[in-house]
Amino acid sequence: MRGRHRATDLRSNGFVALAAGMVLPLVVIGAVYSGYRVMSTSGCSGTVRLSVAASPEIAPAIKDAATRWLKTEPRVNNECVAVDVAPVASAEVAAAIAGEHGVNIPSLGQADGKTHVPQVWIPDSSMWLQRMRATREDLVPQATPSLARSPIVLAVPEPTAKSLGWLENKLTWKQVLQQIVGDTRITPGIVDPNRDSVGVSTLVAMASVRDQFGPEGDSLTVGAVKSLMTGKSEQPSGLIARFPRDADPRTLSTAVTLAPLSEQALHAYNAGGPAVPLIAVYPDPAPIALDFPYAAMPRLSPNRAAAAEQFRSVLTGSEFRNLLAAHHLRANDGSVGVGMTLGPSAASGGGVTPVPDPAVINKALQMWVEITQPSRMLAVIDTSSAMKASVPSAGGLTKGQVAVQAAQGGLDLFPDSWAVGLWSFSVGHRELVPIGPLTAQRDQLRGAIGGLKPDTKGGSGLYDTIFAAYQTVQQGWDPGRGNSVVVITGGRNNSPGGISLDSLVGSLQQAEKPDQPVQIIIIGVGSEMNQAEMQKVVDATGGAVFIASDPSKIGEIFMRALALDDGR
């Protein structure tokens, strides 16, 4: 948590001063967890204190439930129960837990140094627990029942929703992505998915349907992610502040006009009476809803664990459902309490949303990195005589034609923030376009790729070319980017006067600088490339080998290849 807090005077709660050994821990806890504090007070032999860090959306309902529960004077082995409820962003608690155990949650960043690990954690989504389990299984408990539910919606200002015809329609993800990519009325935004469950859920939904769109799946998804990236905010409050404050066309043209939000956040925004209310669009299939799991942390003392279980048991039923409804949240089964009204297109009821396994979550976050992380890349394309051979699975296309299509498709996927250069090679290599910003030379690269033709008599100086390309990227190494060599080849090295495989591997090992990593990514077209030999090459520097046995998947291979961790 942020800010400085003072410990509550125990006398004000009807307690006599305790022994010095008991007072100090209470003062320390009070300084760390202010938030909301409630406790039972009469005739106890001691105090069992629970610090509860709850996602800000649900923290007020948890505090209300704690207040009601402690009026019944619950005890554990004749010790009174005290509960400190603090609203804390889930990312901050996750980072604090990881930091306490000396582990790293990929892309999350370091703890802020002010948030402390609670006894009970209620994040906004079980996806946080899955990300942590993927790092180390014992960081969080296995049994984490969900307390509430808030579906993920696409929030659209009412005037924009009217102009798009989205007021009452459920839309498929394909329709949504097409509009994001091609409609100037939409200015999208998102909170950084690495630190926000709504962003992660949106990416998981987009990734789950990408393969259903056919050949345009990659370009649609990448285009939408690139658009979302331009409107990225670090915090939900920053994103919400960018919605339009009036319906003037000029305001609408510069404000965010589409962003994934939780249903709770949208209702809370509209409850404030904005001049331009937000319309909730429910895309099909639905993203994973926020589910607010109750995680009593591992290694609690027996009395504290018992108190945590007692508290969990009161966070159910119709009374708690009504507390949730007062803060725009559904119960964990999707039903709503008194006073909460759903929109006409919102699904009512329904079971608890399944939470994907860590691999699915990591794949979605990896997609974000693939598309948004600035990179510096030298593409090297084989034009030796081997590229004249046809690829049976490519409908009669030659390896050279498949390579050109792959390179053109990859170029269309790369964001403007990238720097890209192009070489071709047969026996020797030739620089066609030097490494430079895509904003300045995308058309030049496209023209150079389109002009590539196989050399009817040329052999393949593959090994010499790989080493020369590696040296070139290394000489201009950029600390702010991923640095890589991407080789598209259809055959083997067959240059009699060139270096051998062992010489290439040894030269790469000698040239490598651990503090300046350069990855070598090799994409083989067809089945003639010796994967084992190429694996020795990439093992020397880091990277990967991919075989494009199905040319229709080469765009996906590009994205997987360029998402590799560069070791920085």
Which CATH superfamily, name and number, covers 10-149+291-341?
Answer: Periplasmic binding protein-like II (3.40.190.10)
Residue with tokens 């998947």: 553
Q: Which two tokens stand for residue 8?
A: 């509550």
3-state helix, strand, coil in the chain (%, to 5): 45, 20, 40
In sequence order, the 6+-apart residues with CB closer than 8 A to the CB of 286 are 151, 152, 205, 347, 353
Domains 10-149+291-341 and 153-281 belong to one CATH topology: yes
Between CA 555 and CA 492 the distance in angstroms is 22
10-residue averages of pLDDT along the chain (568 residues): 35 33 35 50 83 97 96 94 96 94 85 89 96 92 94 94 84 89 90 94 88 72 84 90 89 90 96 94 90 95 96 95 96 91 70 77 85 86 88 79 84 82 93 94 94 84 95 92 90 85 95 92 84 91 82 64 54
Q: How far apart are CA 125 and CA 55, in angstroms?
A: 9
Closest CA to 192 of 155, 158, 237: 237
Q: Whole-angstrom Cα distance, residue 442 to residue 107? A: 29
In this structure, are residues 384 and 394 in contact, taking their beta carbons and an 8 Å threshold? Answer: no
Cβ(99)–Cβ(15) under 8 Å?
Answer: no
Token pair, residue 163, equals 């102009």
Distance CA 240, CA 261 (A): 9
The H-assigned helical ranges of 59-196 are 59-70, 90-100, 126-135, 158-164, 173-182
Q: Domain 373-562 adopts which CATH fold?
A: Rossmann fold (3.40.50)
| Contact by Cβ (8 Å): 519, 460 | no
CA distance 231 to 224: 11
The answer to whether 82 and 40 are in contact (CB under 8 A) is: yes
List the beta bridge partners of residue 546.
523
Q: Residue 47's pLDDT is what?
A: 93
Residues with Cβ within 8 Å of 30's Cβ and at least 6 positions away in sequence, in order, are 5, 6, 7, 8, 37, 84
- Phi then psi dihedrals of residue 567, to 5 deg: 85, 0
Domain 153-281: which CATH number of 3.40.220, 3.40.190, 3.40.50, 1.10.3470: 3.40.190
Q: 188 - beta bridge partners?
A: 258
Cα dihedral across residues 83, 84, 90, 96: positive or negative? negative
Which helix (H) or strand (E) covers residue 324, if one does? helix 317-325
Select from 36, 158, 138 the least CA-distant residue to 97. 138
Residue 436 φ/ψ, nearest 5 degrees: -160, 175
Q: Where are the domains of the chain?
A: 10-149+291-341, 153-281, 373-562
The pLDDT value recorded for residue 227 is: 86
DSSP for 325-366 reads HTTT-EETTS---TT----TTSPPS--PPPPPPHHHHHHHHH
**For residue 285, cis peptide bond before it (omega within 30 degrees of 0):** yes
Q: Are 179 and 164 a contacting pair, CB within 8 Å?
A: yes
Structure tokens at 48: 């069992």
